[in-house]
Amino acid sequence: MIKNYLKIAFRHITRNKTYVLANVLGLGLALSCCIIAFVNHNMALTADTFHDNHEHLYRVLVQTDGLGEPSCDIATPLAPLASEEISGVKAGIRFGSKGVIIQSGPEVFNQEIAIIDPNFLDIFNFPILAGEKSAINDPSQVLITETAAKKYFGEASALQQTIIVNPGQGGHKEFIVGGILKDPPKISSLQFDVLTNIAFVEWGPRPDTLINWTNHMSATFLQLENPTEKEAITQQLQNYITIYNEGNGNSAVKFLLQPMKEVYIEGEDVNNNWISRSLPPVFYWGLWAMALMILLNACLNFTNTTVSFSNKRLKEMGVRKVMGSGRTQLMLQLLGESLVICILATGVAIIATEYFVPIFNQMWGIANIELTIDYLGNPDLLLFLGGTILLVTLLAGAYPAFYISSFKPTHIFRGSTKFGGDNWFVRSLLGFQVAISIMTIIGGIAFAQNGEYLENFDLGYNTKEIINVKLNGKDAYTTFKNVVLQNPDIQGVTGSRNNLGFGEHWYPLGKREENRWTQVQNVGENFFEVMGLNILEGRTFDEKLATDYTNAVLVNRKFIKDQQWTTGLDKQIEIFGEQQNIIGVVGDFYQSAMVGNQSPNVFRLNKPEQYRTLKVKVNKDKLLATNAYLEEAWKATFPLRPFESFYQDKVTANGLIISQNIAWSYLFLAILSIILAATGLFSLVSLNVLKRAKEIAVRRILGATPENITYIVNKHYILIFGIGSVLGGLLGAWFAQILLEQAFAVNQGVSTMAIVLSMIGICTIGALTIGGKLYSVMQTNPAETLKNE
C-alpha cells in the first residue's frame, strides 16, 4: 500500500512541476531560516556544555543592595576558602585578566592575558595540541592558543620560545611558552589567547596579594561533588558575607550559584560581566519570530496553491472513492504527498543553509558569532528538523487533504462540484500572507531608518571628532601629550580613566545602607571642553587646585533630577565614603545608542598617572591623517609599546552595523514573503477567473468595461488586502517597535511613512499580480470562451 501511495505521489508531483517547484522553493527557504534561527539559539544555550563536567560547575555571583542584577566579580580569596572549608565543593577555579604588552622578537602587541588557577585545564575542556598542560603550574611559563602562536611566532614552532611581558618597563619579565592550546570556541563564555598562573596577580600590573579581599577576579567557579547539593552549598557560602563586606566595604547581601550552562546565555543579566556573553535575548527571539513568520507564510501559500489546484484531482478522488477507497485513505494519500514535498523542501533548505550561514557569520562577526552546521553530530538539530517537517506537513497539508477528500463522487461526476478552493477560509489565509508580508516590510524600513537616525543622533557629547589612544605606563600621557600638541591640526587633548560609551561604572552614593547608586567618570584636564559636554552651572575642574583632586565633583542634570534638587551648586554628596563638593553641572548624555538610558553621573578629576586613555580632538575631515600622525609619533616615542587607537564614534558604529544587518535580514524576508503572497494570490485569482470564465465572457459581450469586470471579479480580494494591510500595519508597527526598544536605548521608533510605504508596496504588487492575469483573460475572444464552455 505504501508503495502504491508513493507511486501516486510522485506521479502527481511530476505532472505539476510548477506548483511543486514553487512550494518546494518557498518551504525550503523558510525552513532554511528556521534552521539558522535554531542553530543560532541552540549554540548560545549550549555554549559551555562542551565541558565534560559542566553540570557540576557553577559561577559564583554576589547580590548587592541597591543593584537589581547580581555581580560576578568575586574577591580572590573566596574560591580557595570555599573549596577547603565547604563539604561538597570539589574545587574552586578563578579566571581573571590583565592588560599587558607582549614582546616576541622585535614585535610588540597589546594583549589581555588570562590569569587562572593551576587546576583550570583539569576542569575545563580546552584541548592542548603541543606541550604539557601541567606547564601552567610553573609561574614562569605560559600557555598560548594556536592563533596567538601564529601571531607571535609566525610559522615557526612556538613551544619553548620566550616572550617578554611589559618590555621596557620596570619589572618586565620573561615567560616560556610551555604549551599550545586549541582556540576556544567563539561561542563560549571563556575566551583567551594567553594563560598564565594566578601568581601573576602578585607580580603583574597593579600587583596585589591573593589573600586581599579587595582584589577581584573576572569570574569564580565552584565544582560541586553533587549538583543536588547546590542549595545547601549556597547557604554555606553566606558565611563569608561578613568578611566579604569588611574587605570590600560593600553591602553584599547574599551569594548565588549560577549553573555553567546559563553563564553565556544569561550574561546580560549580570553586572560587571567581563567574560564573553551572548547578545541580548531580543536577538534570538526576534530571529525566531521572523523565521516562524516566513515558515507560516510558506505553509499558507502551500495550502492555498494546493486547494487551488484541487480541481485537477476531483475526478481522481471520485474514481478512487467509487473503487472502494475510504476518506481516511485519501487523506493519508494527500498528506503523504505533502510530506514528500516537505522532504524535498528540506533538501533545498539544507543546500540554502550552506550558502546562508557564511553570510550570517559575516554579518554578525561583530558579535563574535560563528555558526557551524553539523547535522549528524547535532541530534537536537535532527530532532528539530524531523518535528518541523511533520508540523509543516500537517499545517500545510491537513486542510487540503480534508477539503479534497470530502467531496461526494456523485456530485463530482454530475459536475456540481467543479473547482475547489476559492472560499472565505482560503481567502483568509491569503489575508494572513498579506499581513505577514507587510510586517516584514515595515521591519526592514524601520531598521533602515533607525540606522540613519543613529548615524546622526547627538548623544550629548562629541563622538565625531575624537581619537582615543590607549596608554601604557604612568609616564605615557605627559610624555605623549607634548608630542601630540606639536601638530597644528589638533584642537585639544585630554585624558581619562573611563571612556564614555565603553562600559558603565556604578558606585554607591551616600551610605551603603541607603542603596543609592550613580555612575562615576574619572576624567582629566580639559575633559569637558574636548568631549563637548556643556557646563550648565558652576565651573569645570582646575588642575592647579589640589582640592579639585580630592573633594570636588561635577554632576549631570539627571543626577540633579534624581535628587529632586533645583540646583546642584553648594551641595555635598558622599562617594567612596568621602564628602565631595559639587562645583558644576553638565548636560545630560547617553553613554551609547545600544544600551542604557540617560543615567546619573558624577565626574571626578584624576591625575595624569591614572589615565588609561589619551583623547585627541581634531576636525572630522582630518581624523585619518591625524591618526596616522599619532601612530608614527607614538612609535618614535615608545618603540617598545604597541600603538592602539579607536575613534569615539565607535559607540554608535556597532549600533549602526547591527541596525543595518537587521534591516538587510528583514529585506530578505520581505522579498520572500512578497513572492509567497504573490504566488498564492496568483493561484487564487487564476482559479477565480477560471470558475467565472463564462460570466466574464457574457459581461464582455454585453459591453462591460475592463474596470467593471476587474471590480466584480476581484472585489473579495480588495477586501482581503484591505483587512490584511490594516492587520499587518498594526502588528508590524508593534513588533518592530518592540525589537527597536529591546535592541537600542536610542531609536527613532516606527514612522508612519514605514507603515504607509509597506501597505502601498504590497497592494501595488497585488494589483500587478491580479492585473497581469486579467489582462491575459481580456485578450481572449469571448466567443472562444463560450464555445469551450
453-465: string of b/e by CB count within 10 Å (b at 16+)?
bbeebebbbbbeb
Q: Average model confidence (pLDDT) for the chain?
A: 82
Q: Is the pLDDT of residue 141 over 90?
A: yes
What are the residues facing 99 on neighbouring strands? 112
Rounded to whole angstroms, the Cα distance separating 585 from 565 reads 12
Closest CA to 88 of 115, 64, 62, 56: 56
Closest CA to 544 of 491, 485, 605: 605
pLDDT value, residue 497? 87
Per-residue pLDDT band at 781 (split at 50, 70, 90): low
pLDDT value, residue 682? 72
Looking at 70-84, 303-317, 371-385, 603-617, which range is the least confident one? 303-317
Contact 681, 766 (CB under 8 A): yes
CB burial class (10 A; 0-12, 13-18, 19+) of residue 244? Answer: buried
pLDDT value, residue 448? 81
Rounded to whole angstroms, the Cα distance separating 92 from 77 reads 10
Looking at 316-325, 559-568, 579-588, which range is the least confident one? 316-325
- CA angle, residues 276, 474, 107, in degrees to nearest 5: 65
Rounded to whole angstroms, the Cα distance separating 641 from 102 reads 9
Q: Is the pLDDT of residue 125 over 90?
A: yes
Q: Is the pLDDT of residue 189 over 60?
A: yes
Per-residue pLDDT band at 45 (split at 50, 70, 90): confident
Who contacts 183 (Cβ-Cβ below 8 Å, separation ≥6)?
145, 146, 147
Q: Is the pLDDT of residue 692 over 70?
A: no
Rounded to whole angstroms, the Cα distance separating 172 from 15 reads 78
Closest CA to 240 of 67, 57, 76, 56: 76
DSSP assignment of 669-734, as one string?
HHHHHHHHHHHHHHHHHHHHHHHTHHHHHHHHHTT--HHHHHHHHHHHHHHHHHHHHHHHHHHHHH
Rounded to whole angstroms, the Cα distance separating 396 from 342 reads 9
Closest CA to 537 of 501, 579, 583, 572: 583
Contact 518, 509 (CB under 8 A): yes
- CA angle, residues 544, 545, 547, in degrees to nearest 5: 150
Average pLDDT of span 173-184: 93
Share of the chain above pLDDT 70, in %: 80
Higher-confidence position of 141 and 312? 141
pLDDT value, residue 512? 62
Q: What is the CA radius of gyration of the chain?
A: 33
The length of the chain, given as a count of residues: 789
Q: Is the pLDDT of residue 215 over 90?
A: no
Rounded to whole angstroms, the Cα distance separating 107 from 511 reads 49
Rounded to whole angstroms, the Cα distance separating 385 from 377 reads 14
Q: Is the pLDDT of residue 374 over 60?
A: yes
Per-residue pLDDT band at 277 (split at 50, 70, 90): confident
pLDDT value, residue 288? 86
Rounded to whole angstroms, the Cα distance separating 427 from 683 reads 11
Looking at 443-457, 539-553, 764-778, which range is the least confident one? 764-778
Q: Is the pLDDT of residue 395 over 60?
A: yes
Looking at 248-252, 411-415, 548-552, 622-626, which range is the least confident one? 411-415
Rounded to whole angstroms, the Cα distance separating 517 from 271 reads 13
Looking at 47-61, 531-545, 701-715, which range is the least confident one? 701-715
pLDDT value, residue 321? 55
pTM of the model: 0.79
Q: Residue 279 phi/psi, 5° resolution?
A: -70, 165
**Residue 111, SS3 per DSSP:** strand
Q: Is the pLDDT of residue 36 over 80?
A: yes
Give Cα separations from 717 to 200, 375, 427 (angstroms): 73, 43, 8
pLDDT value, residue 115? 93
Rounded to whole angstroms, the Cα distance separating 479 from 357 reads 48
What are the tens digits of pLDDT across the range 667-686? 787 788 777 777 777 766 66
DSSP assignment of 535-570, as one string?
EEEE----TT-THHHHSEEEEEHHHHHHHT-S--TT
* Residue type, position 234, single letter: T
As given in the structure block, the three cell numbers for residue 493 are 587633548
Per-residue pLDDT band at 6 (split at 50, 70, 90): low
pLDDT value, residue 232? 92
What are the tens digits of pLDDT across the range 601-637? 999 999 888 888 999 999 988 999 999 999 999 989 8
State the maximum Cα–Cα separation within the chain, in Å, rounded to a whole number. 104
Looking at 338-352, 458-472, 604-618, 692-706, which range is the least confident one? 692-706
Contact 197, 137 (CB under 8 A): yes
Rounded to whole angstroms, the Cα distance separating 36 from 270 reads 27
Per-residue pLDDT band at 117 (split at 50, 70, 90): very high
Higher-confidence position of 64 and 250? 64
Do the strands 194-197 and 107-116 form a parallel or antiparallel pair, or are they unpaired?
parallel
pLDDT value, residue 209? 75
What are the tens digits of pLDDT across the range 327-338? 566 677 777 778
Per-residue pLDDT band at 64 (split at 50, 70, 90): confident
Q: Is the pLDDT of residue 736 over 60?
A: yes
pLDDT value, residue 260? 93
Q: Is the pLDDT of residue 299 over 70?
A: yes
Average pLDDT of span 48-76: 85
pLDDT value, residue 292? 87
Helix axes 424-456, 706-743, angle to 10 degrees: 50
Q: Is the pLDDT of residue 421 over 60?
A: no
Looking at 172-176, 202-206, 658-662, which range is the least confident one? 202-206
Q: Residue 443 phi/psi, 5° resolution?
A: -60, -45
Element of type H or E holding 332: helix 327-363
Rounded to whole angstroms, the Cα distance separating 327 from 755 reads 46
Average pLDDT of span 738-745: 80
Q: Is the pLDDT of residue 397 over 80?
A: no
DSSP state at residue 789 = -
Residue with cell 550552506: 354
Q: Is the pLDDT of residue 261 over 80?
A: yes
DSSP state at residue 71 = B
Q: Is the pLDDT of residue 588 over 60?
A: yes
As given in the structure block, the three cell numbers for residue 633 are 609619533
